[in-house]
Structure 1
Amino acid sequence: MIYARRSYLLPTIILICLTYSLFSSLPPGARRPHPHANDHAQHPISTSASSSGTQIHWTKHAEHHPIDDYIPLPTTKPSTIPKIQYEFRSESWLARLRRRRRQSAVKQAFQHAWKGYRDNAWLRDELSPLSGRHRETFAGWAATLVDSLDSLVIMGMTKEFEEALEALELIDFSTTHALQINIFETNIRYLGGLLGAHDLTNGKHPILLKKAIEIADMIYGSFDTRNRMPQSRWEWTRSAGGHGIMPSRQTILAELGSLSLEFTRMSQLTHDPKYFDAIQRITDFFEENQEQTKLPGLWPMLVNAQDMEFSDPRFTIGGMADSTYEYLPKEHMLLGAQTTQYRNMYDSFMRALKGRLLFRPMTKDNQDILFAGNVQANVISHSREKLDPQWEHLKCFLGGTIGIGSKVFERPEELSIARKLADGCIWAYDIMPTGIMPEILHLSACRDPEDCHWDESKWHQDVRHRLAKKSSSNNPTQQAESLIETYGLPPGVVDIPDPKYHLRPEAIESVFILYRITGDIKLQDAAWRMFQNIEKMTRTHFAHAAIADVRDVDSPQLDYMESFWLAETLKYFYLIFSDPDVVNLDEYVLNTEAHPFRRPAT
């Protein structure tokens, strides 16, 4: 799976202000960690949402806007979906030994981080990996524990998994001290984590589905609005008190468009149509307007969910938008190709992506790689000159998504695009002194992507244009070289506005998917380089920590470790060195938090 692939934890008013700042400095989206102060107090698992100290619990009231007829799951027989995975041949004993040693190293890193969480932040949302304290970032329902359940299963950590199952009984999803619940994050981390563990263990542990129903029924209350669009930052205490709610006029695209997999799986497992009905209304709204936006085929970063309008002029596949597009081929698979709706939406998306956002950067060794930029569509013209050649770590999901789409939608010519996007992320790792890609960077785009060669003067010109406060007419080359040294810019990079690494999974996600599609061992080798560099730079006494600057081999570490480090990043590193049948992509679909949902039999 974006900025989750992703935490949208800042207060809504701050988000709005930030998102309307310069487009080149977009606020992070779906997986961005919130700059919380460390929570040193030991909160109980369920705490009060009332300033008076009276504990409020979610209880279902009669809906203000009830549904008369639910939209049911498709009832036609599932269609055959083309195979995704490569037909792997048997490996030599030497190759198997090397692969398993690498896998073991990843597992050891996971065990180290899990132990740190278990010993110091058990039943809290996140461990603070430098101080050994904890943070509450997602309503206080033990986010890291729930998010990591299926990782424990995949890695064969049976004892730890059983202990986590026992701890689930202690989590009360009916209450939280938070006044707002982020529906997107709750959906992908909590509901997704419970469903993924349920499907991986073939329903052996009833508590997983029981708790999934608890959390799904609670957040379903956020859909009780006039138009059935959810209030994405849900004022749950209003609903608990029987009061009405409204969706926001400034709803982040990914928060509205990334609920389909989890709610669909809930209807498949419980046979209750209300969950699918809830997300199908969103899908229909998106499909009806996809060709009517300012950039037809794409939806803008912000949605007016209250008036059901797409008037925002800013378009990206990165933070605040990412998983909406990621879910198009994945929902098609989870529904067993019983509808052409997602195929049609994906076709429109790819047409716009290829025509407006993709670009090739200049590299010193003239690599044929691709990235996707941003567009400010209210600038009259549709020419490529309006493209902002910005890339984010969050955008690295795109290679995997297009790789899957090339298979399930039978678009084989686009597999090369997927590989070039994944190779672009590998390149962005390899060029940094730490061997780790930064959060955000700007690149020097080729004038002609079909005939692109290294041009030092163009790179210098782009650097000056981006970073120089005023042009130096005396010696522009010296000015550019000074800026390059000051900002630590590798060849081809013109700016690194955010040099942090947040333990993000998107790059290894696409490398893993492309490996499973192509069987190319070079991708395993790239993954191993990435893992070794990340492990070296992020390991702490307690676990692993984000780092402040990937340009600095002595970069300070930061005192947070989001739950996706265990739920996604280390899981993908582990899976790329696993036997191909472990979480086979022809049997499971992974949500944007890497939780595997079982696909219907055809």
Structure 2
Amino acid sequence: MLSVRRRGFFALFPAAAILLLFLVTYLREGVVTVPKLSGRLGGLPSGDEEPTFWARLPVHYPPSHIRPLPTGKPVRYPRVQAATFPVEKDPDARARRRERRAIVRDVFHKAWLSYRELAWGADELAPLSGGTKNPFGGWGATLVDALDTLWIMNLRPEFDEAVARAATINFTSTDLPELNVFETNIRYLGGFLSAYDLSGDGRLLRKAVEVGDMLYKAFDTPNRMPIARWDLHAAARGAEQVAGKALLAEVATLSMEFTRLSMLTGDPKWFDAVQRVADAMAAQQDSTALPGLWPLEVDGKTAVFNSGSVFALGAMADSAYEYLPKMAALTGGRLPVYRRMYEKAVDAAVKHNIFRPLTPADEDILIAGNAHAKEHGIELEPQGQHLACFWGGMMALAARLFGRDEDMEPARKLVEGCIWTYRAFPHGVMAEAFTMAPCPAGAVAGDDECRWDEAAWKREVLRRAGKDPDAAGSDAEADAIIKKDRLPEGFTSISDRAYVLRPEAIESIFVLYRVTGREDLPEAAWDMFTAIDRVTSTELANAAVRDVTTPETPEQKDSMESFWLAETLKYFYLIFSDPELISLDEYVFNTEAHPFLRPLK
């Protein structure tokens, strides 16, 4: 086990132990100023490391200057986690929590052992056939993505074996014609950095530098904007590159990982690269068609972030917003621009994107939807997405960090909206995407205009289906659509009926629980976990399902993305763990649920 090896290392080399203690002290400050740190930890040989393949390539468009990491004392943010957790005071409740945690761990371990036996080193295990899939470079996405989960769940022999295997990954070779920079960043770079922050094993930081050097090459463009779908083969041959069209999330979700890598190595080049993107976003935030939010598509070639009419909170935009308060936490508040961007974005989203739906029991909940800029103004598209369920947790975290107490109520209602949506579907599992009938703008709990009205719901079902709600026989036609499309009450359409093992709902329940200590939230999480495991469990692991609206058991797909082990099961495990395990006052999670150390003083 790694812990045993560390004790032996300290016994043999006291000077190395002193050095490691010194470095860990500075790691918790958030910045390490010793360059080439990776060769001096985890039993690696001392001495300078050779530059990686990607670092040795010629640079076509070097930056005119490299911005240093911010310095000075970090902001003293308020405590994020609740002062007390009432459920922890009940011995029976604590015993129940530990039992549930063990069950979650068993589900993870079963999937991990199957991956280890049948797909070791591949990106994904196919959980029905036992085959392999390689959509993320073929470098072992599940292996790297799950490293910190192994550590958190105290599966140390499995962690040691996985680190040894991960240390052999060759990031210069792949069969993919192009690389998704965003996915590579959050899974591989995020995975290595988090596992290093938790374990201190220098092999992980060395691999993080290797991945960081590779992804940094995607910024070698005339205006230093990154290429989202990147031909790394051409880059490796020395070809010149130009950034192009990209989705907002793809270019705005690199900041946490690049900044943490700079903090750990003392090399500011990665921080400088992503801060250029943030500066462009900040400069254009007030000039979009919906000031405060950015449109879905951006133009990397011209660095234009303010041209477009669709403003979403879920797919294709989600983590761009998520990283604003999290970057503030990661940098200790030394860059006020992230708080300013967040506050403008959340104020606009609450006004234009977040809505209260009509529900059968008049539940006081909120759903995060889309907004469209039209000639007559901003128009709500009342579409809910599983991906958008992270908004409640993000708002709760930011409400505590920034002292925005007024945001706690919408944060709570967004989380409860996702809990309610899970329960509304027949198997207790939420569909990927759906629409609902929104209450009139500004309606609140108790308003007559937001009370359940079956006729109003059916009219919205007809409108969503492109039918005339005033035509003769419209009520019968609405009933036919509801039956054919298997619409639970309140839902007007379901555009994607799958559940693909996503984590966003449990993520927000976990964050809200850590922030408030509410006793009902672990119970909601347990209901969610048992429902998910019931429909996704296979002989080998867990599988995505095609349609959660069917009365019979949903058909499973031969797919298990790495985030099932990296995110979903990690959040379930943590909500049933001691609240001080990965405290939100010490760590901040990237969008793939990889915890990074925050500066503490």
**TM > 0.5 between the two?**
yes
In structure 1, the partner of 2:250 is 255
The secondary structure found in structure 2 opposite 1:326 is: helix
What residue is the counterpart of 2:553 in the other structure? 554
Q: Residues 76, 300 of structure 1: CA spacing in aligned structure 2 closer, same or farther, 3 A cutoff?
A: same
Match of 2:357 in 1: 361
CA distance in 1, matches of 2:495, 2:586: 40
Alignment correspondent of 1:67:
63
Conservation of the 8 A alpha-carbon contact between 2:125 and 2:560? yes
Distance 1:472 1:77 in 2: 64
Partner of 1:420: 413
Tell me, yes or no, if the aligned pair for 1:297 and 1:352 is still in contact at 8 Å.
yes
Deviations 1:565-596 (A, max 9, x none): 00000000000000000000000000000000
Q: 1:507 aligns with which of 505, 508, 517?
A: 505
Report the counterpart of residue 596 of structure 1 in structure 2. Answer: 595
Query: SS of 1:400's equivalent?
Result: helix
AA aligned to 2:144 is V
When the two structures are superposed, what TM-score results if normalisation uses the length of structure 1?
0.88
SS at the partner of 1:365? coil
State the partner residue of 1:577. Answer: 576
Q: Show CA shifts across 1:71-125 (max 9, x none).
A: 1111121110111100125422101111111111111110111111111100000
Q: What do residues 118-159 of structure 1 show as CA deviations (whole Å, max 9, x unaligned)?
A: 111000000000100010110010000000000000001011
Check the 8 A contact 1:58/1:237 in 2, yes or no. Answer: no
2:390 aligns to what? Answer: 397
Q: In structure 1, what residue type is equivalent to 2:594?
A: H
> 1:233 matched to which residue of 2?
229
CA distance in 2, matches of 1:264, 1:348: 23
CA distance in 1, matches of 2:54, 2:135: 19
Report how far residue 471 of structure 1 moved.
5.5
Matched, 1:273 2:268: yes
Equivalent residue, structure 1, for 2:291: 296
Q: In the TM superposition, what are the counterparts of 1:117-128 in structure 2 within 5 Å?
A: 117-128=115-126
**Cα distance, 1:481 vs structure 2:** 1.2
Question: 1:342-357 to 2 correspondence within 5 Å?
Answer: 342-357=338-353
Question: Where does residue 154 of structure 1 map in the other structure?
Answer: 152
Structure 2 unpaired stretches of 5+: 1-52
Partner of 1:213: 209
Match of 1:329 in 2: 325
1 CA distance for matches of 2:540 and 2:131?
A: 10
In 1: Cα distance, 2:559 partner to 2:269 partner:
37
Instruction: Return the alpha-carbon distance in structure 2 between the equivalents of residues 287 and 70 of structure 1.
Output: 19
| 2:537 aligned residue (502, 514, 539) | 539
Task: Give a deviation string over 1:450-481, Cα, whole Å, max 9, x none.
Answer: 22210111100000111255657222221111
C-alpha distance in 2 between matches for 1:345 and 1:165: 37
Rounded Cα–Cα distance in structure 1 between residues aligned with 2:538 and 2:282:
46
Q: Give the 5 Å matches for 1:25-174.
A: 58=54, 60-89=56-85, 90-174=88-172
Report if the CA contact (8 A) 1:444-1:494 is conserved.
yes
Tell me the SS of whatever aligns to 1:496.
strand
Match of 1:443 in 2: 436
TM-score under structure 2 normalisation? Answer: 0.88
1:385-410 CA distance string (max 9 Å, x none): x2110010000010011011101111
Q: Which residue of 2 aligns with 1:519?
A: 517
The 8 Å contact of residues 60 and 240 in structure 1, kept in 2 or not, is answered as: no
Q: Equivalent residue for 1:380?
A: 375
Q: Is the 8 A contact 1:120 1:132 kept in 2?
A: yes
Counterpart residue type for residue 434 of structure 2: L
Distance 2:295 2:483 in 1: 36
**Partners of 1:527 and 1:169 in 2: CA distance:** 35
Q: Give 1:558 shift.
A: 0.2
Query: Is the 2:459–2:469 Cα contact (8 Å) retained in structure 1?
Result: no
Q: Is 1:251–1:305's contact at 8 Å kept on the other side of the alignment?
A: yes
Distance 1:79 1:231 in 2: 33
1:458 pairs, out of 456, 459, 469, with 456
User: Paired residue for 2:195?
Assistant: 197
Offset, 1:371: 1.1
Report the alpha carbon displacement of residue 222 of structure 1 after superposing the two structures with TM: 0.4
For the residue of structure 2 that corresponds to 1:223, the secondary structure is: coil
CA contact (8 A) 1:399 1:420 kept: yes
Give 1:285's aligned residue.
280
CA distance in 2, matches of 1:558, 1:521: 35
Secondary structure at 2:495 match in 1: strand
Partner in structure 2 of residue 47 of structure 1: none
Are the equivalent residues in 2 in contact too, given 1:63–1:224 (CA < 8 A)?
Answer: yes
Structure 1, residues 240-287: CA drift from partner, whole Å, max 9, x if none?
A: 111100101x21100000101000000100000100000000000000
Distance across 1 between alignment mates of 2:224 and 2:589: 26
Cα 1:81–1:426 change in 2 (3 A) is: same
The answer for the alignment partner of 2:28 in structure 1 is none
Letter in 2 for 1:551: T
Amino acid at match of 2:412: R
Contact 2:587 2:596 in 1 (8 A): yes
Give SS of 2:218's match.
helix
Aligned equivalents of 1:237 and 1:427: distance in 2? 47
| CA distance, structure 1, for counterparts of residue 344 and residue 82 of structure 2 | 27
Distance 1:529 1:430, change over 3 A: same
Q: Using the TM superposition, give the Cα deviation of residue 215 of structure 1 relative to its aligned residue in structure 2, in angstroms.
A: 0.7
The CA distance in 1 between the partners of 2:335 and 2:111, in whole Å, is 42
How many residues are treated as equivalent by the alignment? 540
Q: Tell me, in whole angstroms, the C-alpha distance in 2 between the residues paired with 1:81 and 1:410.
A: 9
Q: Deviations over 1:342-396 (max 9, x none)?
A: 111011101211221111001111111001211221x11225xx21100100000
Contact 2:368 2:389 in 1 (8 A): no
Cα distance in structure 2, aligned partners of 1:442 and 1:95: 37
Whether the aligned pair in 2 keeps the contact of 1:428 and 1:437 (CA below 8 Å) is: yes
Paired residue for 1:486? 484
- Per-residue deviation, residues 270-324 of structure 1 (Å, max 9, x unmatched): 0001000000000000000000111110001100111112312111011000000
- Distance in 2 between the 1:264 and 1:170 partners? 25
How far does residue 166 in structure 1 lie from its aligned partner after superposition?
Answer: 1.2
Is the Cα contact below 8 Å between 2:354 and 2:367 reproduced in 1?
yes
CA-based RMSD: 1.2
Counterpart Cα distance in 2 of 1:473 and 1:280: 56
Q: Hey, what does 1:339 align to over in structure 2?
A: 335
Letter in 2 for 1:137: P
Conserved 8 A contact 1:472-1:479: no
